[in-house]
Amino acid sequence: MTCPNRLGESSPGFTGTSTLRIFVPTHVLSTPLAAPVSLRFAMKVLVTGGAGFIGSHVVERLLDAGHEVSVVDSLERGSRDNIAGPLERGVRLHETDIRDRSLRALLADERPEVVMHLAAQVDVRVSVADPVLDADINVSGSLNLLEGAREAGTRKVIVTSSGGCIYGEPKPDALPVKETYRGSPESPYGISKRVLHDYLAFYKQAHGMDWTVLALANVFGPRQDPYGEAGVVSIFLGKMFANEEPVIYGDGKQTRDFVYAGDVADAFMRAIKKGSGTVFNIGTGVETTVVELWEGCARAASYTGEMRFAPKRLGELERISLDWSRASKKLGWEPATDLSKGLAETAAWVKSRLGSS
């Protein structure tokens, strides 16, 4: 007889007769053969900013996929409440600033295979008023993280960038803007985000650490702070539910691309195994004016008040929308939640949050 090799191939030179015995460990026999793919490929993942608005959604998705998750968050903007469920499920929370040198020892202890980097200074106006602070957090803090990840042997870093700022003010015929567009950022925040792309390329070339950048449009959804300075959707809704007049800065004709937080979390999950050394726009490609957004929020909140306008603020764009075709082709990602549905879900969360405060 011939002895079958892998995939039914025959091993040459074996022509005798024998009985083939295969010994299988008992723990393998007791394991379901059809285990979910997510569990069969579980890994250690560290999420910076994981107690924040977007990060908490990413943490939940990682846990649901069976990964072992740790979170680094200073809790300056994040909240334990955002990850109360994940903490009960075993997520480790390290209350640490990404600028702190202790972060490197923490990474050495955790030894994550993948780092998802969402911690950042995210307010354009803060970056204009204090560009040194912006660079300290977004550049120096990120480099501290990258050094720690390199020392810990991390395989891949997935970094959040700003699809609304790194391209500057695109020409109208360039919208929705592609990742290849070479505009000039018009705020220190956009500059600090864009420079990380070059640092990541260096770390891959010099140290073999893989990376993916997700350039996010204007993200909205549950857990976006209605009391904060960033996040126009939650701010509008928070004011409307409090029967206050939300302010529109400028004439309201400026446009933004609004993408739902749950869809963004899906992009992070897909980037774990795909998108090596690539920047991806994560948006909808749809321009929505601020006035249109105000009207959508008013419908979701059943608000009947008047619009109130104030002068435009320095550093903010007139128009932006992102072409997400590269993410579709290489990550298999698409925006699944339309604006009206997302606004309704966000409104329900904001209303419940204000009612419990």
What are the φ and ψ backbone dihedral angles of 308, each rounded to 5 degrees? Answer: -130, 135
Q: Report how far residue 296's alpha carbon sits from residue 338's, in angstroms, rounded to the nearest whole number.
A: 12
Any catalytic annotation for residue 203?
no
Token readout for 60 is: 């939940």
Query: 163: closest CA among 5, 47, 287, 292?
Result: 287
Rg (CA), the chain: 24
Task: Tell me the helix, strand and coil percentages in the chain, rounded to 5.
Answer: 40, 15, 40
- From 167, 181, 189, 249, active-site residue: 189
Residue 324 and residue 281 in contact, taking contact as beta carbons nearer than 8 Å: yes
Residue 72 near residue 47 (C-beta atoms within 8 A):
yes
Is the CB of residue 300 less than 8 Å from the CB of residue 347? yes
Rounded distance between C-alpha atoms, residue 241 and residue 205, angstroms: 51
| 333 close to 327: Cβ distance less than 8 angstroms | yes
Given a contact cutoff of 8 angstroms between Cβ atoms, the answer to whether 63 and 44 are in contact is no
Instruction: Please identify every residue annotated as catalytic.
Output: 189
